[in-house]
Structure 1
Amino acid sequence: MLSILIPIYNYDCRSLVKDLHKQCTISDIPFEIRLIDDCSDHFQKENQSLSTLQFVHFTALSANIGRSAIRNQLAQEAKYEYLLFIDCDAGICNNYIAKYLPFLPSDKIICGGLLYDIKDYTPEKSLRFQYGHKREEKSAQTRNKAPYQAFTSFNMLIPKKIFLAIKFDESITKYGHEDTLLGIMLEKEKKEILHINNPLYHKGIENNIIFLQKTQQSIISLKELYERAEYPSQLSNKIKILSFYKKTKPLHIPISFLFTSIRPLIEKYLITNKKPSLIVFDFYKLGYLCTSMQNSK
């Protein structure tokens, strides 16, 4: 029936796995929970203790293989015909597993969505929380209006046969846009995505400094994907910052100049403000993309 797949990197997921195990047991379905640790520096011993639970399998890798490869490995090792991908920094709601069961069996990809808990807000994490709350929290009704654009593997139920025929692109070695490319491939293969209201809480909120660093890495990944020229129109349709980049082509040089001039001020604002403007954050991303593109010419 169900293989729950959780890639782990430097996060204590004991509470998540125990809650999932309890819900699966109550649901009385054939299940397994597969955990692979991607050569973490922290919490490996704590997470390894989860292997004492029935139907839980834990593997620790001796070298880091990256976000795409570890998810592909989890799917290859999965026992059952339906795969439920969950990020290790998630928190589950009551009846989370039970809400997925009416959709099985199915040839659709089911995405449950995500939420942010105000209890997890701190001033040091204000940018990530603000972005998640305002941009990532969306109802199923809203997500179903553009199902491929709203796709994320953070909370995804997918038939194993469909996933193994497509898989994550392991050529993406930097952080960011693994989901974007998988969503493009699912759309290309005409695989139906259905969004439902069965969210996970995103608990592992980075502080503002780390989130900015990850944003930079994500933009570099986007730049490299765009320069590969395999899916230029699909990328532009799915990623608003890239769409805006293309629309502002005559302004790229002045945008880069302005961004370079005021970048320290913007970064200080985004890092220290308790409720930073996402419009300022959007300009930061556009400026970083324009500058990165100019530097590679």
Structure 2
Amino acid sequence: MLSILIPIYNYNAFPLVLELQKQCLECNLEFEIICQNDASNVFLIENNEINILENCHFSSNETNLGRGRNINKMASKANYDWLLFLDCDTFPQSSDFIKNYLLEIQKKDNPIIFGGILYDQKKPEKNQQLRWVYGHKRESLSVEKRKEKPNNRALTSNLLLEKKLFSQYPFDENLTKYGYEDLYFMMILEENKIKVTHIENPTFHLNLETSILFLNKTKIALENLLFIFNSKKIDSKDSKIISTYSSLKKLRLTSFTVYLFNLFENKISTQLISNNPSLLLFDLYKLGYFCKLQSNNNSI
């Protein structure tokens, strides 16, 4: 019936697996929970405890595969017709989380379903504000808001889909870095007329990186976005950053944008890692950094 796939990196996933196993057993369904550590070397003792649990499996990759390839590898091991992707640092809001997804499976109407993401209402530490603010404003969206752009506003951090669908459209294994795997995956589905269904069945995102770490991860993600764009895997309509970059290029303003970014990067970074980060400045930072990456790429 259901294979739950949890990619792990530097996180203790045992509490999540324990809760999911409990819910699956209560629903009396055939299930398995497959957890795969992508060559990180912390929480190994805690995560190895997963193997003690019935129908639960934990293993580690010898080398880092990247998130997409790691999920592909887990999906190839899966024994059941439905896959549930969950990030290791999430936790179901409801004790009926699995039951709610089973009801969707039984409808036999939709091959792919996104349940949503939530963030704690309580503000975190001062050095974690950027990730929290971004999550609240850009990821923790109502069902109605998500339905406006169903594929663009779905994430693979809490996603149910048919195995045969994922076998047909797996993650692109050329994307080995962090970031924008979800965007490309969802755009491929959209191009093939496959629409994500949105329901209210969220998980909490628990692990908040420091603002400095999140900013550095954003830079790596933008490198991935540049690779996706230059490989002609997506076009400007699929990303606000690419769309704005394309407009600047037509106006011959990309060099000026890079100049401004270099001039103000440190000041903007200081604001973003403060205890009151601006998402407008974050957007401008991402645009400037993307333009800089493309400029450097063109000069090679």
TM-score range, shorter chain: over 0.9
- Helix, strand or coil at the partner of 1:110: strand
Structure 1 residue 238: Cα displacement: 2.6
Structure 1 residue 270: Cα displacement: 0.9
- Helix, strand or coil at the partner of 2:172: coil
Q: Does 1:99 find its partner at 2:103?
A: no
Does the 8 Å contact 1:83/1:159 carry over to 2? Answer: yes
Structure 1 residue 189: Cα displacement: 2.1
Superposition pairs of residues 1-297 of structure 1, within 5 angstroms = 1-94=1-94, 95-105=96-106, 106=108, 107-119=110-122, 121-232=124-235, 236-249=236-249, 250-271=252-273, 273-297=274-298
Q: Deviations over 1:222-271 (max 9, x none)?
A: 11111112332xxx223212211112222211111011011111111111
Distance in 2, matches of 1:91 and 1:204, equals: 10
Q: Deviations over 1:150-202 (max 9, x none)?
A: 12111000000110111000100111111111111111222231011111111
Distance in 2, matches of 1:85 and 1:120, equals: 27
- Helix, strand or coil at the partner of 2:84: strand
Does the 8 Å contact 2:69/2:176 carry over to 1? Answer: no
Does the 8 Å contact 1:120/1:203 carry over to 2? Answer: no
Distance in 2, matches of 1:138 and 1:237, equals: 21
Structure 1 residue 219: Cα displacement: 0.8
Q: Gaps spanning 5+ residues in structure 1: where?
A: none
* Matched letter for residue 196 of structure 1: I
* Matched letter for residue 245 of structure 1: Y
Structure 1 residue 120: Cα displacement: 6.2
Distance in 2, matches of 1:118 and 1:142, equals: 19
Does the 8 Å contact 2:14/2:50 carry over to 1? Answer: yes
Distance in 1, matches of 2:170 and 2:216, equals: 27
Does the 8 Å contact 2:129/2:277 carry over to 1? Answer: yes
Q: Gaps spanning 5+ residues in structure 2: where?
A: none
Structure 1 residue 118: Cα displacement: 2.8
Does the 8 Å contact 2:271/2:278 carry over to 1? Answer: no
Distance in 2, matches of 1:120 and 1:41, equals: 30
The percentage of counterpart residues that share the same residue type is 40
Distance in 1, matches of 2:123 and 2:87, equals: 17
Distance in 1, matches of 2:52 and 2:158, equals: 25
Please give the root-mean-square deviation of Cα atoms over the aligned residues, in Å.
1.2
Distance in 1, matches of 2:123 and 2:49, equals: 26
* Matched letter for residue 294 of structure 2: M
Moved more, 111-120 or 130-139: 111-120
Distance in 2, matches of 1:205 and 1:237, equals: 30
Does the 8 Å contact 1:7/1:38 carry over to 2? Answer: yes
- Helix, strand or coil at the partner of 1:214: helix
- Helix, strand or coil at the partner of 1:84: strand
If the length of structure 2 is used for normalisation, what is the TM-score? 0.95
- Helix, strand or coil at the partner of 1:59: strand
* Matched letter for residue 225 of structure 1: I
Distance in 1, matches of 2:126 and 2:181, equals: 29
* Matched letter for residue 85 of structure 1: F
Q: Deviations over 1:23-78 (max 9, x none)?
A: 11111111111111111110012101111110101112221111111100111101
- Helix, strand or coil at the partner of 2:176: coil
Does the 8 Å contact 2:123/2:129 carry over to 1? Answer: no
> What stretches of structure 1 move > 3 A for 4+ residues in a row?
none
Distance in 1, matches of 2:68 and 2:288, equals: 27
If the length of structure 1 is used for normalisation, what is the TM-score? 0.96
